Amino acid sequence: MPDLLSPKAANTAGFKHYVEQYSGPVYALSCLLLEKGARADQAAAATFASLYELWLKGSLPQGKAGSPAAYKECIRQCSTLAQERSHCTSALLSWEDQIASALWYGLQLPLSDISQILQHNVPELKAQLRGIRKQMAAAHSTMPAVHRPSAG
């Protein structure tokens, strides 16, 4: 993963702590949405560059409230990159479903956190996740069976 702290940002101890706290989950989310590689690196770096501007203005939430801000900005950066390249990691799911799936199945965040990040109420989110499971199950059932040779 690239160094997400510029020399200017490193001088701000509070922001450095924020980056240290959220760089792993933000990078993981960018990899889930864009696949691991240069675009995921770019999205993670752009996320913290944008959040640093909020930090300087004093409008970046602190403590546990800072978590949704990091994820929301990462999703925004990933969405921009995905649109620019018109490439999504999975044609099976819509972009919104890919985001929900990455947060729930990939990062394993609690429903209440995902609800806050995506600004959906929990019942809507549960319905969306059920729909995702059904789509994935249907896709899995239509895949050809893989035959493996027996082990001796």
pLDDT digits (tens, 9 = 90+) for 38-61: 999 999 999 999 999 988 888 888
Tell me if 74 sits within 8 A of 43, measured CB to CB: yes
Please state the rounded mean pLDDT for residues 121-148. 83
Strand intervals (E) in 1-104: none
Higher pLDDT, residue 28 or 9: 28
Give me the half-sphere count of Cα atoms (radius 13 Å) on the Cβ side of residue 97.
Answer: 16
DSSP state of 64: G
Please state the rounded mean pLDDT for residues 97-111. 95
* Confidence (pTM): 0.78
pLDDT digits (tens, 9 = 90+) for 20-32: 999 999 999 999 9
